[in-house]
Structure 1
Amino acid sequence: VFTAEKKRLIVDAFVKWRITNNEQFYITSSGGQLSAMRTLLTQRVDEGLRNQFGTRTVQEVVSGERDELMNILTTDLNTVAAGELGIEVLDVRVKKIELPTEVNESVYNRMRTERERLAQELRAQGTEIAEGIRANADRERTIILAEAYRKAEELRGNGDAKATGIYANAYNKDPEFYEFTRSLKAYQSTFENKSDVLLIDPDSDFFKYLDSSKGKKSE
């Protein structure tokens, strides 16, 4: 059958009917042959389907108007069947509506293409969002590291300033003792490893406190 948009559909329908006039049924069906009656009824159902589908769109056929279509078709068939065939049509139902194979393939291809396009679009959006998140994270990381470095340098500067102040205060109170402790630290650092060898002039100021048994600078 064809719809109002001239689109071809394959319709599978069935009919429930019963005999109401035995004499008319016997005459019409060539002596009560059910196959003959089925042929006559099928012709009228096909004609009714073509008429009803031809005034509706595909959307209307597969949506809520299908029940209305079946009711109209049942009523129209009964008008003919009661007088001509000797039967009553109880119900007409559409089991299945399909597009032709070539149309199905075309529809499926369009659907697949649309889904692939949508998937690519979603992937692109996801990639863009991910790049934005990574960029924000990198920017925040840079800011945090810079702030941490600034604070560390500030603390280091404050510590160095305090240490310098302590050293200066100690030197001002007892310059000789301050110089002595500095020399001891230098000795400890220099001779930390027993295998170390140091070549230096014995008269160098490096040994100025080692030359005196009293721990004073030799003159």
Structure 2
Amino acid sequence: MNRLITFLAAGLLLLFLSSLTLFTVDERYSAVVFQFSEAKRIISKPGIYFKVPFVQEVRRFDRRIQTIDESQPARIQTIEKMNVLADSYIKWQIVDVEKFYKAVGLDDRKATDRLRNTVNNMLRDEFGKRTVQDVISGKREEVMKQVSKVADTDAANLGVKVLDIRLKRVELEAGTLNSVYERMQSERKTEANRLRAEGAAQADKIKADADKQREVLLADAYNKAQKLKGEGDARAAAISAAAYGANPEFYAFYKSMDAYRESFAKKSDVMVLEPSGEFFKYMKNPRAGGGK
């Protein structure tokens, strides 16, 4: 019985000593072995390791991807002096435990605070160069690309890698919504007036061009008509001259008949003439043109 108790006591003592001298590191963590607050060993591979009991202690650092998620959105001002609320998150991971420990010690919050401040400062800088439209939709990807670049450079000094930075939402403050709506309405009205003015100017231009073409066409038609009329008159004169030259008596008789027809075309027409005048000579004598 005494031997059993002694054996059990020895086993318990061995377990106790093992717990003081042995420790494990799994694949999720890296470990730093401290001796009197001085880092003696850095362990990055998983396994079972020894330490000096009561003299050395082990601190584990999580190597998994971690998230900094803002509890409250940051209040940021754009180039138009309008305040927006930017809600973002940061994905980061420890890649160099030694550098991380030297930079922030045993307080992980120093690393998260530094990353948060770096990202918020960069967002303020980038938003301050752009309009509300740009940061809400137009150039958000460009903004986040620049923020990620600077944040990752700063994080490298901590032994940390920034894997992703995203804006979950960007909203206008309630106090600035009315001014934004008013500005949008003003811009739309200005654009509408500009389009109307351009349309009116274009319409005037088209009308002026149409009027010009109309005048050109009318002038061209008038010239052609006058030309045709001149040609017709010349041809008629030639025909008349030819007819007169062929038989002057008949020509004179024919012209007199035309004159009679035109003169007596209407019953209401009244003419006062001397019966012995030249106008009636062919009525008195159809051969008057011959003189005998």
Structure with the higher fraction of residues in strand conformation = 2
Tell me the residue number matched to 1:216. 287
Code of the residue aligned with 2:190 in structure 1: it is R
Aligned-pair distance for 1:109?
1.7
Q: Which amino acid aligns with 2:256?
A: S
- Quote the residue 2:261 is aligned against: 188
Give 2:287's aligned amino acid.
K
| CA distance, structure 1, for counterparts of residue 278 and residue 136 of structure 2 | 111
Which residue of 119, 123, 129 maps to 1:56? Answer: 123
What is the TM-score with the length of structure 2 in the denominator?
A: 0.47
Supply the AA of the counterpart residue of 1:105: N
Structure ranking higher on relative contact order (CA contacts 8 Å, 6+ apart): 1
Distance 1:4 1:206, change over 3 A: closer
Q: How does 1:1-219 map to 2 (within 5 A)?
A: 1-3=74-76, 8-10=83-85, 53=120, 55-57=122-124, 58=127, 63-64=140-141, 65=144, 94=168, 97-212=170-285, 215-217=286-288
Structure 1's unaligned 5+ residue stretches are: 14-46, 70-92
Q: Structure 2 unaligned runs (5+)? A: 1-73, 89-112, 128-133, 149-166
Aligned alpha-carbon RMSD (Å): 3.5
SS at match of 1:98: strand
The TM-score normalised by the length of structure 1 is 0.61
Equivalent residue of 1:3, what SS?
strand
Q: Secondary structure at the match of 1:203?
A: coil
C-alpha distance in structure 1 between counterparts of 2:185 and 2:225, whole Å: 59
Q: Return the structure number with greater helix share.
A: 1
**Alpha-carbon spacing, 1:209–1:109, altered in 2? closer, same or farther (3 Å):** same
- Residue type at the aligned position of 1:216: R
